[in-house]
Each structure stands twice: as structure tokens, then as C-alpha cells.
Amino acid sequence: MNVIQPLIDLQDTDGQIRELEREARDIPQRKAQEIARLNGVNAALEIAKNQLAAMQQRIKSEESEGEEIRAKVRDLKTNQLNIKSNKEMQQSIMQIEGLERDAEAAENRALALTEDEIPVLERRVADAQAKVDSDKGGVDGYVAELDARLAEVKAELENLTKERAAKADAVSKSNPRFLLYYERQRTKRWPVVVTLNHDGVCDGCHMKQPPFVEQLVQHNKDLVACTMCGRILYRDL
């Protein structure tokens, strides 16, 4: 057996732990991104609703402008009963004609907006609402999935932590110095234990090793470190 096989076993477990820890860190971020996206979809619906409401308000004000003018016309017509001179009557008729044109213009604007703008804005609200409805289910499902996965990851990590303790113990029992060296390297580079390939190159940093390093690895009696990066070298037997 390779003299550093227990270290390789330990490194396998550490590799799995690193991956799961990364996943556990990523999950809250992925959740936050999904929620932010949903907030954006909700905001789009709010905007569409506000645009529709603003248009309805505008139409209402055109309509009430028309009604006000029509009321004025009615008053003027009532007052005509009291008009004594022809000239005054002529003026009143002209004024009423002008006001009726204004009322009609306001009514036409209200009608045009109702026919042209309202259907477009209503469709926009409906589309945005549909998007909110479909995304809401999607996000809720996705978030639930992520929560479930996070629980799974945590459980796996708990098991692996126990497994790791046992493996570290095994290394320590056969050679405490190996474990110390490995633990120190682990904080700086990953992976720590790498193969020395058949060209005598470290698989970690890809530097060619001097012949004596290759010979030591070949002997397989002690821990041999890469002269460049310090990784522990071994050869697949």
C-alpha cells in the first residue's frame, strides 16, 4: 500500500466536505436572486397597474371637462330667454357654438383614449399579472427545493465530519507528522496530495521535479513534498 494512502483517503473526504460547504454557501444566494427576480416581476405589475389608473384618471378629467362645458351651455341657453337685443342674442349663439365645439373636442379625446389606450394598458396589466402568478408558484417551489437541499447538505456534512475525524485519527496514528503537514497545507492550497506524473511533473503546480524527488516518491517510504508548491507527491502504483 502507498505510505500516504491514509492521507489520500482523508483528502477524499475533505474534498466532499469542501464541495458541500460551497453548496451550502451558494444556496442562500440563489434564493436571494430568485426572490429579487420575483420582486422585479411584482414591480412590473405595479407599474402596469399605475399606468392604467393614470390613463383612466386622464379620461375621467376629459369627460368632466366636457360635462362642465355642457352645463355652461345649458345655463347660457336658459339665459337667452332674458336677452333683449339681437346683438346680444348673436353673441350668445356664437359663444354657445364655441363651447359646444370645445365640449365635443373633450368628449372625442376621452373616447379616443378609451378606445386606443385602455385596451393596450389592460392587456399589459393582464400579462404582468399572469407572469406574477406563474412565477410565484415557480419561486415558491424553487425556494422549497433549495431549503430541502440545504437540509440534506447539512446532514451529509454532519456525517462527513464524523468520517473525517476517524480518517484523521487513522493518519495521526500511523504518522502524526503527515497529518500536521497536510493540515497546514490544506489552508493554503487544494488539493494537497497530488500525483507525480511519469514525466516527473507535479500534478498540482505542473513543475518538473529534480531527480532525487522522483526517487524518493518511488521509494514510497516517507512524505515527499513538491519542491515548488509544497504539495504532497505520490505515484499511482
Residues within the interface to Zn ion (CB under 5 A):
202, 204-205, 226, 228-229, 231
CB of 197 to Zn ion, least distance (A): 11
Considering beta carbons, is residue 193 or 226 the nearer one to Zn ion? Answer: 226
Backbone angles phi, psi at 203, to 5 degrees: -75, -5
Residue 208 C-alpha cell reads as 518538473
Q: Is the dihedral of CA 210, 216, 220, 224 positive or negative?
A: negative
CB of 207 to Zn ion, least distance (A): 5
Considering beta carbons, is residue 52 or 226 the nearer one to Zn ion? Answer: 226
Among candidate residues 212, 171, 177, 214, the one with its CA nearest the CA of residue 195: 214
Q: Name residue 215's amino acid.
A: Q
Considering beta carbons, is residue 164 or 231 the nearer one to Zn ion? Answer: 231
CB of 37 to Zn ion, least distance (A): 43
Residue 106 · residue 58 · CB < 8 Å: no
Question: Where would I find the H helices in the chain?
Answer: 5-79, 86-174, 176-186, 211-219
CB of 138 to Zn ion, least distance (A): 47
The SS3 of residue 98 is: helix
Among candidate residues 161, 168, 148, 218, the one with its CA nearest the CA of residue 3: 218
CB of 232 to Zn ion, least distance (A): 10
- Give me the torsion for CA of 21, 26, 32, 33, rounded to 10°: -170
Considering beta carbons, is residue 171 or 213 the nearer one to Zn ion? Answer: 213
CB of 206 to Zn ion, least distance (A): 7
Residue 195 · residue 217 · CB < 8 Å: no
Residue 48 · residue 124 · CB < 8 Å: yes
CB of 171 to Zn ion, least distance (A): 21
Considering beta carbons, is residue 4 or 48 the nearer one to Zn ion? Answer: 4
Considering beta carbons, is residue 91 or 215 the nearer one to Zn ion? Answer: 215
Considering beta carbons, is residue 41 or 216 the nearer one to Zn ion? Answer: 216
Strand order in the sheet with 193-195: 193-195, 232-234, 224-225
Backbone angles phi, psi at 5, to 5 degrees: -55, -45
